[in-house]
Amino acid sequence: MRTVRTVAELRAALVPAQRDGLSIGLVPTMGAFHDGHLSLIRRARAECHVVAVSLFVNPAQFDDAGDLRRYPRDERRDATLAAELGIDLLFVPGVDEIYPAGFATTVSVGGVSEGLEGAHRGRGHFDGVATVVAKLLIAAAPDAAYFGRKDAQQVAVVRRLVADLALPVRIVACPTVRADDGLALSSRNALLSPADRERAAALHRALQAIQDAIKADPDDVRAAIAAGQAELSAAGIAAEYLEVVDRETMEPLERVDGAALAVIAARVGGVRLIDNLPVALTDEDHDELSHTDPEVATRQRAPTA
C-alpha cells in the first residue's frame, strides 16, 4: 500500500491501472476506522482490481466547529488497518490540497439535500459533501465508489450528483454494520460516555418499532412514528427528527407503498447520531432493501489478482 497526499500523486499512481483497463474502486472516508468502514473496503477489495481509500476530515461539511475539533483522527491506525485489507492506495490530502488558496467552487445538489440532515445541519453540510465527493470522483476517476447506507441521505445525494453530472462511476451502497445491541457503528460512538453508549441503542429500537408497525399497517405512518417515539422517550432521548421517507427523494411519507426508510437523528449526551432502517411491506422486500443493491453485480469485472 502506498500513501499519497496530493491529487497529482493520486492521478499518477492510477495511470497504469487505467492504461491496463483494470477496474478502480474508491472508498471515501473521514477516517477513525471501525468495522463499517472496513466492510466498505472489503467490498471494494473483492470487486475491483485496484482499491483507493481516501482519508479526509472535510471541514466544509461540518456545521459545528466543536464537532470538527472533537472528530476522532488516527491516521497511523487507519493506515495499518487499510494495509491489512490489501488496499493499493491511501489518499490523505491536507485541507490545503482539497481547498487551495482561492478555492471558490461549490457543488450544490438541490431537492434531495434539503430535508432531514440538510434542514437540521444547514445547507452547507451537503454542499460540503457534494463538493468533496465530486472532487474525489474527478481526481480518482474510479469505476465504482463505495458508500454506507448508514448515511442514506448522503447516498441519495451522491447518486443525484453522479446522475446530474453524468460522472462515469457506479455508486455502491453497502449495508449498515451494527454493534450487538443494534447501534450503528460510527466514529462518533467513541465520544459517548459508557452510560450514553448504552442509551444510544434506543435509536435502533425506535427504528425497529417503526419497521414493525409499518409491517402491521403501512397506511398509518403517524402511529408507527409514535411507537418509535415511545422507545426514545423510555431512554430519555429526544429526536431531532424521526420520520418515514421515500428512499430516493427523502420526502416524508404518510403511507408506505414502496421502498421507504425510517430515519432518525438524535443527540445522546451531546453526540449527534443518525441511523435508518428500510421499512417495507414484506420480509422479501426488506431483505432486498437491506442487503442488495440492484446496480451491484452488473458491469463489474472480477479482479484477477
The minimum distance between CB 276 and ligand AMP, in angstroms, equals 11
Residues 34, 37, 120, 204: which is the catalytic one? Answer: 37
Beta bridge partners of 2: 89
Distance CA 138, CA 155 (A): 17
Q: Taking phi first (over 0 means left), then psi (-120 to 50 degrees means alpha), and beta for anything else, what does residue 102 get?
A: left
The minimum distance between CB 151 and ligand AMP, in angstroms, equals 4
CA 236 to chain centroid, in Å, comes to 27
Cα angle value 128/290/181 (rounded, 5°): 90
Locus of grid cell 483522527:
73
The minimum distance between CB 301 and ligand AMP, in angstroms, equals 23
Distance CA 238, CA 109 (A): 29
Which residue's CB is nearer to ligand AMP, number 175 or number 303?
175
The amino acid at 11 = R
Contact (CB, 8 A) for 38 and 66:
no
Which residue's CB is nearer to ligand AMP, number 49 or number 125?
125
Distance CA 10, CA 50 (A): 12
Which residue's CB is nearer to ligand AMP, number 32 or number 224?
32
Confirm whether 37 is a catalytic residue: yes
C-alpha cell at 9: 500523486
Chain contacts with ligand AMP (rule: CB under 6 A): 29-30, 36-37, 39-40, 147-148, 150-151, 174, 176-177, 184-187
C-alpha cell at 296: 451491484
Which residue's CB is nearer to ligand AMP, number 134 or number 213?
134
Torsion of CA 281, 285, 286, 289, to 10 degrees: -130
Which residue's CB is nearer to ligand AMP, number 131 or number 187?
187
The minimum distance between CB 203 and ligand AMP, in angstroms, equals 12
Enumerate the active-site residues.
Answer: 37
